[in-house]
Chains A and B, each alone.
Chain A
């Protein structure tokens, strides 16, 4: 996947994976399993658009699963998951891992994928007796698939779970329209139990949450802490883009809220957490908004003494970190 986010997230989240360019090289340590949470915060004018950004990231995530030969599990309350899989992104390079937004994946390739879906209108709903509230059926379904397909024991493949727009009213959850929701802890309890299932199996989940809709402020912080990695997309309104020249090239900001450190004290920290994204015709691209503070212990202090090209007006020619 050639977006910096996915490379970044891939580096951080799936660093135990050795997927690389060979599809069948999945490192055994993939049993360290993680939950990526993508929270979308938007300015009200852009609501629909922003569900499409997070949905796009979900599609990249699942497309990578198809190309790598993983099994897919997709749950959505809004769009039929089968339709979502049919509109998967096509690879733009012979070796996979790069995707073209303007093309759709070959149906033959899609047919070869083992997939499981969960679409609430088609599931029978049981009595909601536990603190999982409306998510009890979803958790049960995930637990069943993991156990039945052997991801918690014998199988040496990965299950990729995409859970779309959890917390939205379409799931039966009122955390997005009530300040004191009846199922107040359903979403957080579900994410907690999901983490437990992921830890005991060869699976990885990406969850999208419409953060801008959540009325209880504490919930979002808890959702982030219950994820291993969390990313927030904040899109610009058209007025923001006009007033701030720094933003004019981009569609929004990408905040890294949490970097995972499973099985280690601290993972490789990113040098810069200020990223911006832009939806181009063929790719969703993510770039650094500015340089990080020039504090790295590896920066050579000696380079200050070298001659530099004029600060403005010329294209950078040197390669020292201090050149502008």
Chain B
């Protein structure tokens, strides 16, 4: 996790808001560094985490988390982390191999009309049992992390099905179980907003559902090696609690630094 981001968001593994739906998005940039932040944050906070690995393998997150001080393999063995290796299982499912994964979680690759009900049930089964089988380890609130939602559009799942899925997850995990949900949506400028199968459309709809939004964008002035982009943080509360702030950021090998626009060390 990134300490600077924690202080900006006024949260820490010991003290964080429950029942949050955090939406991460990017445009002309890559917000996946925030996924690593939240994964390590909630594991440090001793929450039970269900991670849908739709775009990278477990070893990728494991190596990065190691650098951030969290051991994913251990978390998995203790039952704190449930990781769906969806990427690696996909060729077998798509080619209909006999030895492939038969679980309903990967139904979105299977049927002529891809849908996410099986995936939702996987999430429900992973997170609804509080504390795991043995009561010796009791974990904190459940957390769902999805990396990422827009790849489902590339696989032929409709935006409507994705929105249904996130709605169900939010209702169960955030409202019912008082847990949190973090999802990443990756967008492009080339997509038209009117297109109902675009990431932009998905992003707009999810922005209304979320309680906190972090939008990562490249700099409008173009690529710069020392400032990787900017993050717009939008606390979507009511009245005074509804505020937006912009920070510029730079990602390092072991973390990320955030600073007010124009205050990068490279510029001052």
By a beta-carbon cutoff of 8 Å, the part of chain A in contact with chain B is 130-132, 136, 139-140, 143, 184-185, 188-189, 192-193, 195-197, 199-200, 217-218, 220-222, 225-226, 261-266, 269-273, 292-293, 295-297
A295 to B154, Cβ gap below 8 A?
Answer: no
A271 touching B156, Cβ below 8 Å: no
A140 touches B266 (CB 8 A): no
Contact stretch, chosen from B14-22, B88-96, B128-136, B235-243: B88-96
Please tell me which one of the listed residues B197, B223, B224, B253 contacts residue A266 in the complex, with CB atoms under 8 A apart.
Answer: B253
- Determine how close the nearest CB of chain A comes to the CB of B174; give it in whole angstroms: 27
Closest chain A residue to B33 by CB distance?
A: A265
**B266 A217 Cβ-Cβ under 8 A:** no
Q: Does B59 contact A (CB under 8 A)?
A: yes
Neighbouring B residues of A139 by C-beta, 8 Å: 91, 94-95
18 additional contacts, CB 8 Å, given A264-B64, A297-B265?
A130-B95, A131-B114, A132-B94, A136-B95, A185-B154, A189-B155, A189-B156, A195-B87, A199-B87, A225-B154, A263-B63, A264-B63, A265-B67, A265-B256, A266-B251, A295-B264, A295-B267, A296-B225
Please encode chain B, from 242 to 253, with 1 for each CB lying within 8 Å of some chain A CB and 0 for all others. 000000000111
Query: For residue B67, which residues in chain A have a CB less than 8 angstroms away from its CB?
Result: 264-265
Residues of A within 8 A of B227 (CB): 295
Is B95 a contact of A143 with CB atoms below 8 Å? yes
Most B C-beta atoms less than 10 A away, residue of A131, A140, A184, A270:
A131
Residue among A193, A265, A266, A296 with most chain B CB within 10 A = A265
Inter-chain CA distance A270–B224, complex, in Å, is: 9
Query: How far is the CB of B235 from the nearest CB of chain A, in Å?
Result: 25
B195 at the interface (CB under 8 A from A): yes
Contacts of A226 in B (CB 8 A): 151, 154
Interface residues in B, total, Cβ within 8 A? 51
- Structural contact, B155 and A218, CB atoms closer than 8 A: no
CB of B117 within 8 Å of the partner chain: no
B137 within 8 A of A: no
A265 touches B36 (CB 8 A): yes
In this complex, what residue of B is CB-closest to A189? B155
Of the listed stretches B44-52, B73-81, B164-172, B185-193, name the one at the interface; the rest are far from the partner chain.
Answer: B185-193
Between A and B, 14 residue pairs with Cβ closer than 8 Å are A130-B95, A132-B95, A200-B57, A217-B191, A218-B191, A225-B186, A262-B56, A264-B64, A265-B36, A266-B228, A266-B251, A270-B225, A297-B265, A297-B266
Per a CB cutoff under 8 Å, which of A197, A218, A225, A266 touches B91?
A: A197
When the two chains form the complex, which single residue of A143, A195, A265, A295 contacts B64, counting CB atoms closer than 8 Å?
Answer: A265
Q: Which residues of B sit under 8 angstroms from A199, Cβ to Cβ? A: 56-57, 87-88
B101 to chain A, nearest CB (A): 12
How many Å lie between the Cα of A195 and that of B33 in the bound state? 20
| B180 beta carbon closer than 8 Å to chain A | no
Which of A131, A200, A293 lies in contact with B224, CB distance below 8 A? Answer: A293
Q: A189-B156, A265-B33 are in contact. Are A221 and B95 (CB under 8 A)?
A: no
- A192 surroundings in chain B (CB, below 8 A): 87, 90, 151, 154-155
- Once bound together, how far apart are the Cα atoms of A140 and B2, in whole Å? 42
The one of A132, A140, A218 that contacts B188, using a Cβ cutoff of 8 Å: A218
Instruction: Check if A265 sits within 8 Å of B253, measured CB to CB.
Output: yes
Decide: B228 and A221 in contact? CB cutoff 8 A: no
Q: B191 contacts which chain A residues (CB < 8 A)?
A: 217-218, 221
Q: Which of B57, B94, B198 has the most CB of A within 10 A?
A: B94
CB distance from B4 to the nearest CB of A (A): 14
Asked if B91 and A196 make an inter-chain contact with CB atoms under 8 angstroms apart, the answer reads yes
